[in-house]
Structure 1
Amino acid sequence: MKSRFFLLILFTSISNIVNSQVVLNADGTTDTYSLINTVLANPNRNVVEVPDCNHEIFGDHITQEYDNDLKKNVFLFHIHVTPDNDRCKKFDRQRNEIKTYKDSPENLKATIGETVAYKWKFKLPKNFKPSSSFTHIHQIKAVGGPYASIPMISLTLRKGNPDKLELRYTPTKSQKTLDKVNLDLLKGNWIEVTEVIKFDNSGSYSIEIKNVENEKILFSYKNSPLDTWQDGADFARPKWGIYRSLKNKQDLQDEILKYANFSIEEIKDVVPVDVLKAKAERILLMSNSSNEIVFNNSGKYDAIELFDNSGRKISIEKRINKNKLNVSGFSKGLYFIVFKKDTLVNKVLKCYVK
């Protein structure tokens, strides 16, 4: 399909402003539940969902220890086939999770129009056994509205041949698998996840999963535009931990899933600032059927950079040819072409790829 580009030329500068970042790290000394609640909740609230009350003899189901590979303290999420269950109720599933909450600080709750980056590390045992039904280790869920009962985004571990990590998605109640990766690539290693979501009915989603030790990318996915807002929601929140089905207990075993370096970072989109009030004649509306953007090669700049709508810089080293930029294969969405002179922004080209 031919691409169409609507271009708005703005003589201005851009900024990619980080609004706030919240980090949760194990410290090896503070009471684990108190540490989690201090970061993710308002005072005197609880965002820890553990089966402690049904398994008091074991003690806390989230603990800390020093990890020799990361050379820092990490969190250990413990789950037992029995007697652990879901929030101390007899049920066909069990959970040991942390989350943000309706009473969490506002910058931990995603609202429509916001872009949020979620980052964390995790480590599965080499012999980890996922359920054939579901074993969620991360979710993005709506709070409020008709679709709050089902996560919009899930990272689900599933028994199969081979076992898999599945990226599951729905803007309503009809969930589907967007992509998957062989779970053997992840087992026994520290894994780093970076997930960026533009929360909107025409938003965007990207995720990258890599091996911490060798930095090899094991899984990546991105989609834009994508409906990343469940209508009627008050806000969206992240969850991490172990949430698995008990329908086939014979396939499961007691597990310890390790987590480290949780980060929630609200990012303002890359948007023009200090914009000169553009008159209609300064707006250029055009289509391009050759997958190339042609720009004025007037020599008023000495560098060109490209950013997507989440603020990430995109390499265009092999896409520039004189006064043409090749954008073939780009995901749909908004882009900013930045022209610089002596490291200062000289001009910005706002480009929407359809």
Structure 2
Amino acid sequence: MRLILLILLTGFLSAQPSFNQVVLEADGPGDTYELINSVLTSDEGDVIEVPDCGHQGFGRHIDEVYDPELGKFVFRFHIHVTPDNDRCINYDRQRTEIKTYDKSPDNLLGTQNEKVIYQWKFKLDSDFQPSNSFTHLHQLKSVGSDEDSMPLITLTARKGTPDQLEIRYAETYSQITLKKIDLNPLKGIWLNIIETVTYGEIGSGSYHLIIKTEKENQELLNYFNDTIRTWKTDAAFIRPKWGIYRSLNDQENLRDETVLFADFLIKEIYTGIEPPLQTLRKELLYPNPASNVIFINHMPQNNFTMVNIYSTDGRMIMQKEITAQSMDISTLKPGIYLLYLSNERKSSQPYKLIVR
């Protein structure tokens, strides 16, 4: 019986259960910025990057409208050739974007050895006109690294013959194009995007992007690469951005645009549960298995301040501040748990804790 139970538990863990799913959905006109911030950051934070400061007469550059095709409210991102700029900071480009950042909850920030799914819908106008320089619609960008200046992944539209949608990638400081497809079949329809990233160095990182039509579920792009580097040296985390961020170098060929977005989803799927177990036993925590008390050999270079314990189905079971080496776990029922060390900016990889 004990052998059967062990086999079942091993299979259950190897299935890579998902945790911490966060969804941002439009809910109707008004308080759009407040809604976005309430989901993507803490109360004092602001994840909105818009040209409102230079175009106050227009009002907010992100609002919510009802879309009859989806049968629900969606987010509408506005950009105007003039006078919009980049937050009154840069005037050769302009942006209307949302993001996560250092004040966002840990589960919205990608960390090394973590697998994250980003999913969203968007719709370009049937006459959408991209710049011949860049018109970014989505980015994955590192924070805290010397390589911050160059996004890890960029989904960008570019004027050409024909117009293209490109997946751009930067291993370090320079970009290459991983894949590009004709943009024209993507215009005027709702698209469903599924982006799956395992953040890691070469050999442990991977990237997968699927684009399908929302109505017919027709696959338009499927790109997978498990031989690229998806982590930036010394990064605190990697975070997503969505919206429209374009160059004004091609201003004569641009027009005022609206891009519709809906149903943003960020879902963490943790990997590597078994490999960290030996590290956990020897360096971080003992005993394991444990009954009433565990002892944490805290690594100060990581500045971790909290211990977070989850069930294997993703429920937060216990959260305690690291104030001493010992931690009372007598209230935990026997079973397998996932333990994380964290601070306000990042979280460690998951470690398996066995309670008996």
**Relative contact order (C-alpha < 8 Å, sep 6+): which is higher?**
1
Q: Distance in 1 between matches of 2:93 and 2:154?
A: 16
Q: Distance in 1 between matches of 2:254 and 2:76?
A: 18
Question: Could you tell me whether the CA contact under 8 Å between 2:30 and 2:64 is conserved in 1?
Answer: no
Q: Distance in 1 between matches of 2:194 and 2:28?
A: 24
**Residue 174 (structure 1) shift:** 1.4
Alignment of 1:30-69 (within 5 A): 30-69=30-69
Alignment of 1:309-324 (within 5 A): none
**Residue 272 (structure 1) shift:** 5.9
Q: Report the counterpart of residue 97 of structure 1 in structure 2.
A: 97
Structure 1 residues 205-232: Cα deviation after superposition (integer angstroms, max 9, x where no partner): 0000010011000011001132100112
The one-letter amino acid of 1:116's match is V
Structure 1 residues 150-197: Cα deviation after superposition (integer angstroms, max 9, x where no partner): 111000100000000000001201100000110011000000000000
Q: Distance in 1 between matches of 2:104 and 2:70?
A: 29
Q: Report the counterpart of residue 159 of structure 2 in structure 1.
A: 159
- Report % sequence identity: 51
**Residue 259 (structure 1) shift:** 0.1
Quick check: 1:268 aligned with 2:270? yes
Q: Report the counterpart of residue 255 of structure 2 in structure 1.
A: 253
**Cα 1:247–1:29 shift into 2, 3 Å:** closer
Quick check: 1:223 aligned with 2:222? no
Q: Distance in 1 between matches of 2:272 and 2:117?
A: 14
**Residue 88 (structure 1) shift:** 1.6
Give 1 or 2: higher helix fraction: 2
Q: Report the counterpart of residue 241 of structure 1 in structure 2.
A: 243
**Residue 271 (structure 1) shift:** 5.3
Alignment of 1:1-354 (within 5 A): 12-13=10-11, 14-202=14-202, 203-269=205-271
Q: Distance in 1 between matches of 2:90 and 2:210?
A: 36
**Normalised by the size of structure 1, how large is the TM-score?**
0.73
The one-letter amino acid of 1:179's match is K
Runs of 4+ in 1 over 2 A off after TM superposition: 269-273
**Residue 269 (structure 1) shift:** 2.4
Structure 1 residues 67-90: Cα deviation after superposition (integer angstroms, max 9, x where no partner): 000001000000000000001234
3-state SS of paired residue (2:36) = helix
Q: Report the counterpart of residue 334 of structure 1 in structure 2.
A: none
**Residue 54 (structure 1) shift:** 0.6
Aligned CA RMSD, in angstroms, stands at 1.6
Structure 1 residues 329-350: Cα deviation after superposition (integer angstroms, max 9, x where no partner): xxxxxxxxxxxxxxxxxxxxxx
The one-letter amino acid of 2:249's match is K
3-state SS of paired residue (2:226) = strand
| Greater alpha carbon shift after TM alignment, 11-20 vs 125-134 | 11-20
3-state SS of paired residue (1:103) = coil
Q: Distance in 2 between matches of 1:201 and 1:254?
A: 40
Question: Could you tell me whether the CA contact under 8 Å between 1:15 and 1:272 is conserved in 2?
Answer: no
Question: Could you tell me whether the CA contact under 8 Å between 1:117 and 1:264 is conserved in 2?
Answer: yes
Q: Distance in 1 between matches of 2:242 and 2:59?
A: 20
Question: Could you tell me whether the CA contact under 8 Å between 2:29 and 2:65 is conserved in 1?
Answer: no
